[in-house]
């Protein structure tokens, strides 16, 4: 695995985007479903969606690497896509609901002083594994 560093600013950016998406996730998810309905489902499509959600590839790589060091049994793109809602045909991604549920049910991971949901870290792990 790569040695990837994560600045507090980059981690805060990922968290802020995730919180914003949790707040406005329904309209964004509806637009994504509309776009996906007209497009063929390809393996690259979920990765492009995930990278747009996370925005900072550098932060996603660092967080994904750190998560997989803690949970090496999840080092499968297919498994991670299924667990984040990106694995099904049609591109329907209920990740925002999963993200909120993670915090409600205490499915969180503490990394470098940050508390992150399993769902957002799994999305970062997809980016990390896809870059290898």
What value, to the nearest 5°, has the Cα angle with vertex 57 and ends 54 and 58? Answer: 125
d(C-alpha 92, C-alpha 30), whole Å: 9
d(C-alpha 43, C-alpha 58), whole Å: 21
Type and span of the H or E element at 36: helix 8-38
Residues in the chain: 132
Largest separation between any pair of C-alpha atoms in the chain: 42
Beta bridge partners of 98: none
Tokens in use for 5? 């560093």
What local confidence, expressed as pLDDT, does residue 108 receive?
95
Digit-by-digit pLDDT tens for the chain (132 residues) are 444 556 666 666 666 565 545 544 444 444 444 444 444 445 568 888 888 888 889 999 999 999 999 999 999 999 999 898 887 654 445 788 888 999 999 999 998 888 999 999 999 999 999 997
pTM of the predicted protein model: 0.66
């Amino acid at each position: 695995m790569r040695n990837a560093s994560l600045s507090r600013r980059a981690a805060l950016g990922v968290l802020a985007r995730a919180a914003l998406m949790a707040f406005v996730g329904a309209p964004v998810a509806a637009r994504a479903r509309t776009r996906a309905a007209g497009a063929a489902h390809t393996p690259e499509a979920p990765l492009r969606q995930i990278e747009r959600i996370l925005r900072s590839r550098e932060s996603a790589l660092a967080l994904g690497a750190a998560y997989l060091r803690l949970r090496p049994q999840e080092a499968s793109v297919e498994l991670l896509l299924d667990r984040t809602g990106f694995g099904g045909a049609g591109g329907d991604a209920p990740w925002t609901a999963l993200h909120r549920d993670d915090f409600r049910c205490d499915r969180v991971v503490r990394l470098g002083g940050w508390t992150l949901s399993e769902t957002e870290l799994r999305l970062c792990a997809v980016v990390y594994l896809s870059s290898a």
